[in-house]
Amino acid sequence: MRRPGRQVVLAAASVGSGTIVGALTNLLTGSWNWALAGGLVAAVALWMSVEMTRAATAGNGVIRVVQRVRRRVLGKVIGVRRSGEVASADIRQDVDEVGKGGEVIGYDGT
């Protein structure tokens, strides 16, 4: 069985943290309690750290493009078109047939 990736685990932790924050907020608004308030602050701090970790590791600046064309290409098929700097790109193109005048371009920096 395949293990879930880091992003999947962090997403699940984020949902769990949000659920805990919501539940503690609901309990705290019903009756004030210092222990609940402390738990809410800790849950919010946990949720913030999970989201900061997700933001720091999301994609790592890599553009990923996967294209599958199951017909004859008569015009242009471009994987990535971008002007300016691109940190890194992973482009995978699978084309059945390129017809007369057809063109397949992985990266177009114009």
d(CA 64, CA 20): 34
Give the residue carrying structure tokens 């009756």.
31
Q: Are residues 12 and 52 in the same domain?
A: yes
Report pTM.
0.52
12 has a pLDDT exceeding 80: yes
Classify burial at 43, counting beta carbons within 10 Å of its beta carbon; exposed 0-12, middle 13-18, buried 19 or more: buried
Structural domain including 34 reads: 6-57
Residue 83, both tokens: 């002007």
Q: What is the pLDDT of residues 19-48, one digit of tens each?
A: 999 999 999 998 888 999 999 999 999 999
Last residue of a domain, one of 35, 57, 79: 57
* Residue 1 in domain: no
Q: Domains in the chain: how many in total? A: 2
Phi-psi region of 50 (alpha: psi -120 to 50; beta: other; left: phi over 0): alpha
Per-residue pLDDT at 83: 62
Per-residue pLDDT at 77: 80
